[in-house]
Amino acid sequence: MTLTETIDLSDHDAFVDAVPYDWFRTLRREAPVYFNPEPDGPGFYAVTRYADIREVHRNVDIYSSEIGGTSLEDLDEEQLEARKSMIDMDPPRHDELRGLIARRFTPRAVQVWEDAVRTVTDRVLDAALEKEEFDFVEEISSEIPMQVFAEILGIPQSDRRHIIELGDRLLGNQDPEYFVPPDPSHRLLPFSSPAALEMFEFGRKMAAARRKNPGNDIITQLAFEPLTQREFDVYFVLLATAGNETTRHTITHGLIGLLEHPDQLERLREDPELYKPAAEEMLRWATPVHHFRRTTTRETELAGTTIPALAKVTTWLVSGNRDEEVFEEPDTFDVGRTPNKHVAFGPGGIHTCMGAHLARMEVRIAFEELLKRVKTIEMTARPERLRSNFFNGIKRMPVRVTR
Ligand code: HEM
């Protein structure tokens, strides 16, 4: 059988039971720049080796985020224009928009949130751990990132659940549970989702309140910038979504990693110095965003393969993070792994995750505080995966704890 007969990365069903790591291993070895036909599209090149992923993300002149956006979906120009936030832009506008708040996310700047993150985490854990059995995703791993985001932005407690649900509806739209049938009136909305309208409304209300009552927060800052309404709307949606599912799935997979490797859990409990490297290993292990997409501005060559102009090129971070050329025993979960130059936040370059330092802190604190509080924790059923070739998502994970 040929590769094309066995491997189809556009098939969301191929990701339902587990990440198809064996496909990626084969591609890295046999076809590192693999052309994947699509049933309803032009097809895309799948880049699976670490070094090539890096090359694509760092060479913004050849691999554009703006021409076709960064998702696999084929959007027309009107849709791209209406929906695009900085993540779907090239310089110079990308750099201007990112520059507005990037300084709040440097390693040093995020330290001001450490206490807030710990307080929020403590609150979430104490509420969840009142029960012996509960859904880890619902009660803990989805709560922490959203509560942190809400805390940082000053969103009232009463609105927080609503924002979490909006985020789920916005992003999980390949999964039957969240699926909304395509409606032409939603085509200009982020993710073609009507939930985006509710999210816009929420952001606009917050901005209006800050204009009246300015604070020293991100929304106040953005509210006073000369952004168009649409630019503000999509900026808000980006901030509300970028750190939400990603951090959630890292925490969930992090726990799965520890439960499936009890020796690593033991190591972590015995040596608190390991929480930092453990968080990095959880990020590598989870790789919550499987891939990103770019579009070639001209014909080019990558790893010996000629790619035509205006082709869809996808970079499979999930594969880069298991590249045996870079990681020793890549399929081993090692909480002390050093070095660990994973690409869960992207491989560097201008689009590197803006929230990376905040996210790493959240993951570390989640486990520092969780393991302090529980004697044992076990799954009571198999984790339920999201149907998506984009997110490595877990929808539900029932657990039982003893304290
Ligand atoms: C575990 C959690 C997270 C993961 C795995 C993650 C992953 C990523 C990845 C892979 C990218 C694209 C990188 C590239 O194209 O090279 C990205 C971009 C981005 N992330 Fe994150 N992210 C996480 C958390 C967050 C958080 C908490 C925020 C909060 C502000 C955030 C904000 C952003 C923004 C604004 C961008 C776009 C940056 C740009 O285009 O310049 N992310 N993230």
Q: Each residue of 199-240: pLDDT tens digit? A: 999 999 999 999 999 998 899 999 999 999 999 999 999 998
Written as one string, the DSSP assignment of 320-345 is HTT-TTTSSSTTS--TT-SS----TT
The Cα 354–Cα 403 span in angstroms is 36
pLDDT confidence of residue 174: 60
Tell me the CA–centroid distance for residue 169 and ligand 1, in Å. Answer: 19
Give the ligand 1 atom nearest the CA of 287: 5
Give the ligand 1 atom nearest the CA of 57: 16
**Single-letter code of the amino acid located at 124:** V
Closest CA to 35 of 25, 47, 23: 47
Both structure tokens of 289: 């965003």
Which residues approach ligand 1 with their CB closer than 6 A?
Answer: 57, 86-87, 98, 238-239, 242-243, 246-247, 250, 283, 288-289, 292, 317, 344-346, 349, 351-355, 358-359
The Cα 232–Cα 266 span in angstroms is 46
| Residues 233-248: tens digit of each pLDDT | 999 999 988 998 999 9
Tell me the CA–centroid distance for residue 209 and ligand 1, in Å. Answer: 27
Nearest 10 degrees: Cα torsion 133, 136, 140, 146: -140
pLDDT confidence of residue 156: 82
Residue 89 has pLDDT above 90, yes or no: yes
Mean per-residue pLDDT over the chain, rounded: 94
Nearest 10 degrees: Cα torsion 108, 245, 65, 84: -100
The Cα 214–Cα 17 span in angstroms is 48
Both structure tokens of 83: 């929906």
**Single-letter code of the amino acid located at 192:** S
What's the pTM?
0.96
DSSP 391: B
pLDDT band at 181 (very low <50, low <70, confident <90, very high): confident
Tell me the CA–centroid distance for residue 87 and ligand 1, in Å. Answer: 9
Testing ligand 1's pocket by substitution, the residue of 100, 290, 341, 345 carrying the most ligand atoms inside 8 A of its CB is: 345
Backbone torsion region of residue 98, taken as left when φ is above 0, otherwise alpha when ψ lies between -120 and 50, otherwise beta? alpha
DSSP 140: I
Lowest-pLDDT choice from 56-60, 182-186, 241-245: 182-186
Residue 370: CB partners within 8 Å, gap ≥ 6? 125, 140, 255, 377
